[in-house]
Amino acid sequence: MLQPVEVERLLVIVAHPDDVDFGSGGTMATLTAHGVHVTYCIVTDGDAGGSDRAMSRAEMASMRRKEQTAAAATVGVHDLIFLGYPDGRVEASLALRGDLSRVIRQVRPKVVVGQSPERNYDRIFASHPDHLATGEATLCAVYPDARNPFAFPELLEEGLEPWTVDEMWIAGHPVMTDIVDVTDNVDRKFEALRCHASQLPDPAAMEVRVRQWMAATAVAHGLAEGRFAEGFRVLRLV
Ligand SMILES: [Zn+2]
């Protein structure tokens, strides 16, 4: 079981507003309750989300930034970085790797929470192409780019020294190696999820589904009936 007190400083990198809240919102609430400093880096503004064709995409982007900012606050996260890449068109490009390396060197986290670069055929909606691309670029930025002084030398010119991330926790991966018991903070996770109102046609059905995932994860990892957990594939990188 992952222990919050040892984390100290954590950076989440995800493709869209709401991704962190579905996969890891309970973990974020649990970590911040233990004094961990958490920063979110959201690669796109989720401007391709929703189904209201009357709403301009710029309005959707602005609404989703506001929703994510409110959701973050409910789980104790107040530092958010929006990179503004176009939703639905994320690639694991050198440009994105450089931007994520910059963020890692600025934030200097012990742990990075990211998305899976591998498609999970059992949970295909978690394997959106933007998630796969963001997961791949995140892993490349964590190792080797952010720690290598000769990768993206322009970052050194910006005064950003190399930074070694100790662990990456991959959410939504088919193989979960570690879990966080989020039972005590599960209500805050749902409060955060409900902040994404523009994306939730049926919040009650969402809550039932997400509770089932978390209960199944808890039982599969040996927690008692009635507990809730979020799972990660943890890579130890030092
Ligand atoms: Zn997403």
Instruction: Write the Ramachandran bin of 76: left for phi over 0, alpha for psi from -120 to 50, otherwise beta.
Output: left
Contacts of 61 (CB under 8 A, 6+ apart): 45, 46, 47, 87
Ligand 1 centre distance from Cα of residue 115 (Å): 9
CA of 166 to the centre of ligand 1 (A): 25
Token digits of residue 44: 């796109």
Q: What is the model's pTM?
A: 0.97
Give residue 148 CA to ligand 1 midpoint distance, Å: 29
What are all long-range contacts of 158-165, with beta carbons under 8 Å and residues at least 24 apart?
158/102, 160/102, 160/105, 160/106, 161/105, 162/105, 163/104, 163/105, 163/108, 164/237, 164/238, 165/104, 165/109, 165/110, 165/111, 165/112, 165/237
Peptide bond into 144 cis (omega under 30): yes
CB 227 within 8 A of CB 181: yes
Q: What is the pLDDT of residues 124-180, one digit of tens each?
A: 888 999 999 999 999 999 999 999 999 999 999 999 999 999 999 999 898 999 999
Interval between CA 127 and ligand 1 midpoint (Å): 8
Helix axes 19-33, 186-194, angle to 10 degrees: 140
Q: What is the DSSP letter of 81?
A: E
What length does the chain have?
Answer: 238
Domain count, the chain: 1
Q: CATH no. for residue 207?
A: 3.40.50.10320
> CA 74 to CA 71: how far, in whole Å?
5
**How far is the first Cα of the chain from the last one, in angstroms, to the nearest whole number?**
19
| pLDDT single digits (tens) 98-110 | 999 999 999 999 9
User: How many whole angstroms from 234 Cα to the centroid of ligand 1?
Assistant: 20
Phi, psi at 114, each rounded to 5°: -135, 180
Q: Which domain holds residue 176?
A: 4-236
Average pLDDT, the chain: 95
Query: Ligand 1 centre and the CA of 157: distance in Å?
Result: 33
CA of 158 to the centre of ligand 1 (A): 31
- Distance of CA 104 from the midpoint of ligand 1 (Å): 21
CA of 140 to the centre of ligand 1 (A): 19
